[in-house]
Amino acid sequence: MAELLISSLTHEAREKAKKLQIDGDNGRRDLLKIARALVAALETPKESVMRMTWHSPTVFAAMRLCMDLDLYSKICDDDGSPKSAQFLAETTGADPRLVERLLKHLATANIVSETAADVYGANSITQLLATTQCSGMVISVLSEFFQLTGWRNPVDKSQLSPFSFAANVNMTFYDWIFQAGNESHAEAFHRHMEFKTMDQKWHDTIPLDQILGSEDSCRAEDVLLVDVGGNKGTIEEIDFELLGPVEAMAHDFFMPQPVSNARAYYMKMVLHNWDDDACVKIMTKIRLAMTPGYSKILVNEVVIPDTRVDWFATSVDFMMLTTQSTEERKRENGEP
């Protein structure tokens, strides 16, 4: 059914596009409706919800921050010719890495045009946002935070974070959400984590037999998989009868790993909550529990490419910026 709808909408769009010059603005609006219907047909329901709840709000916030830095006018200078994020940061006094993150996110919404790695030019949306008429359309408490902190890239958990500033608390996001009185927020967080695991599972996307080996390669006395910092993640997906026994265990991953000699230690979107020094400590605790030549560490994280990044990746990066004072790693940051 979905394939028939997509085929029909694609055909309708082609036919409408042929008459665009004749039909004028009404034809353009009709074509836009078809295009939106086509996007809705192509997206999964989960993608639609993710885009509305993760992408749109964070783009809105990033759009406001770039207004405060007057980046749109600067990008439009010299007839909108491409400019590096480094150059734009120097003209504003903002942290170059912060400017890179903001513009890369806006590029996923076509608000600026990416022409090369961390190089951006102006398009019609950029030009509109450079006008004074647009300056009052978006309000964000993030503006106050970055003006207070001198437009630094928030990657230090010991310093004031966007979350702690907005919530007016002197604690991290996790300390706050799991304290007494915030049970409803904690439950919402757990449901959010469950939502992330819907649809395709990580173990359906990789050759598990090549990574974990055959059934005979896992020693009977050893654990097959430890889901480190998994919340309800992988545990919720396991067939307990097939792979049991399965045990849920509370553990501080900055302390020694209590399960030794497991075939694999799996971490999904754990390391992105922490800076490099903290990640080294987490990985070291796991390494000390591993059997050399037998155990493996499986890391499932978002990696930010130099160009043509997906909106999901930059949306998660922006959420890390605001809630965790960390960032999704670029490829060169994540390689050993």
Q: Domain segments of the chain: what residues?
A: 2-42, 203-301
Nearest Cα neighbor of 100 from 325, 278, 312, 317 is: 317
The reported pTM is: 0.90
What pLDDT shows up at residue 204? Answer: 77
CATH fold of the domain at 203-301: Rossmann fold (3.40.50)
Q: Given the DSSP bridges, would you call strands 264-268 and 296-300 parallel, antiparallel or unpaired?
A: parallel
What gap in Å lies between CA 201 and CA 30, rounded to an integer?
Answer: 38
Where would I find the H helices in 108-154? 124-129, 141-148
Q: How far is CA 80 from the centre of its chain?
A: 28
Please say if the pLDDT value at position 336 is more than 50: no
What pLDDT shows up at residue 242? Answer: 60
Write the pLDDT tens digit of every residue in 6-53: 999 999 999 999 998 898 999 999 999 999 999 999 999 999 999 999
Residue 113 forms beta bridges with which residues?
A: 121
- Torsion over CA: 186, 162, 100, 66 (sign): positive
Write the pLDDT tens digit of every residue in 43-93: 999 999 999 999 999 999 999 999 999 999 999 999 999 999 999 999 999
